[in-house]
């Protein structure tokens, strides 16, 4: 298992004392927690708050964990319906957002300090649906992170799940099994529509279903990621990228070389060439370009008037 906090120290020369590991849903800007070795470090923001608020929040977090445990059993067990009629993700998002709005000054102070002091923010891999839910439950935090990266205050590096949630869609993954999106997708009403991360076109469901929309959209390019490349995905990737091509050609009147689209299933080099063309129309593009990533590949995004993608 690849963990950034060990790799940064063991292979990249970072001093372990300069590495802090957090769990988004533990709210390091609000709650004092003893930490969990290998998962997240101790946190002590010392923010005065009501004990009942913390207890209610962790009860909803526990409810979400229990739903996750049921769906991870073999065979999976159904998640019981909640009395509210809402999903466990929406109940968690509701109280999480309420807390972050109430203690917005504490969240802002923590983010400003952290994102200006840190050189690198590293996102882990793992369960993409759960990570997507975490950012969806903490939209004010996600907005601050996107702002910091786009303003060059900090570099964001990622792998697997933490790259997928930065894209327009995280739908093409074998992890999305029956019951997962129903339990862990955050309703679009919790996602901000201020234009920094999402606009109303992103959330209208005409192209990308809201329940698979990436909730940390660092990129403006209409991209979706499928890591850990396997040839068995090629037919589905081609189908998705043909839809992206057809939309682009219809709305712009410009033609794309068909060989470029057919080659987009072979890995990320050709797919990024296709993305660089379609990204010119990114603000209006509903259908994303799907990028297949082999495990030994890395891609880089640079902003040069528009986002430019390449393999490194």
Task: Note the pLDDT of residue 197.
Answer: 81
For residues 178 and 214, give the distance between their C-alpha atoms in angstroms, rounded to a whole number: 19
For residues 268 and 275, give the distance between their C-alpha atoms in angstroms, rounded to a whole number: 10
Q: Which residue has the tokens 């159904």?
A: 78
Task: Note the pLDDT of residue 86.
Answer: 95
Task: Note the pLDDT of residue 271.
Answer: 87
Residue 157 phi/psi, 5-degree rounding, is -120, 150
Task: Note the pLDDT of residue 119.
Answer: 92
Task: Note the pLDDT of residue 237.
Answer: 85
Cis ω on the peptide bond leading into residue 145 (within 30° of 0)?
no
Tokens of 194: 């201020």
Residues 6+ apart with CB under 8 A from 74: none
Task: Note the pLDDT of residue 196.
Answer: 78
Q: Can you say how many angstroms the Cα of residue 155 is from the centroid of all Cα atoms in its chain?
A: 16
Task: Note the pLDDT of residue 147.
Answer: 93
147: number of Cβ within 10 Å: 14
DSSP 40: B
N residues, the chain: 312
Residue ranges of the chain whose pLDDT lies below 70: 1-2, 172-176, 200, 204-211, 267
pLDDT digits (tens, 9 = 90+) for 106-130: 999 999 999 999 999 999 888 888 9
Q: For 212, left (φ over 0), alpha (ψ -120 to 50), or beta?
A: alpha
Task: Note the pLDDT of residue 255.
Answer: 95
Task: Note the pLDDT of residue 4.
Answer: 78
Q: Are 136 and 190 in contact (CB under 8 A)?
A: yes
């Amino acid at each position: 298992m690849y963990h950034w906090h060990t790799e940064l120290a063991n292979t990249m020369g970072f001093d372990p004392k300069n590495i802090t590991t957090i769990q988004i849903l533990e709210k390091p800007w609000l709650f004092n927690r003893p930490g969990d070795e290998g998962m997240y470090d101790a946190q002590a923001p010392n923010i005065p708050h009501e004990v009942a608020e913390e207890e209610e929040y962790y009860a909803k977090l526990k409810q979400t964990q229990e739903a996750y445990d049921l769906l991870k059993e073999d065979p999976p067990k159904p998640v019981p319906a909640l009395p509210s009629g809402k999903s466990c993700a929406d109940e968690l998002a509701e109280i999480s957002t309420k807390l972050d709005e109430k203690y917005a000054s504490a969240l802002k102070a923590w983010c400003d300090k952290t994102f200006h002091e840190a050189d690198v923010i590293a996102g882990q891999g793992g369960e993409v649906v759960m990570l997507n839910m975490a950012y969806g439950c903490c939209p004010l935090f996600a907005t601050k992170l996107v702002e910091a990266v786009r303003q060059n205050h900090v570099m964001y590096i990622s792998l697997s799940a933490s790259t997928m949630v930065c894209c327009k869609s995280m739908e093409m993954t074998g992890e999305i099994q029956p019951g997962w999106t129903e339990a862990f997708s955050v309703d679009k009403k919790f996602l901000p529509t201020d234009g920094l991360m999402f606009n109303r076109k992103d959330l209208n469901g005409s192209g990308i279903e809201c329940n698979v929309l990436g909730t940390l959209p660092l990129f403006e390019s209409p991209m979706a990621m499928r890591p850990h490349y396997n040839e068995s995905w090629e037919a589905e990737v081609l189908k998705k990228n043909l839809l992206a091509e057809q939309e682009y050609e219809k709305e712009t009147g410009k033609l794309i070389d068909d060989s470029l689209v057919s080659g987009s299933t072979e890995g990320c080099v050709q797919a990024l060439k296709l993305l660089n063309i379609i990204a010119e129309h990114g603000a209006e593009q509903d259908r994303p370009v799907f990028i297949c990533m082999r495990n030994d590949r890395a891609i880089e995004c640079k902003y040069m008037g528009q986002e430019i993608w390449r393999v490194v």
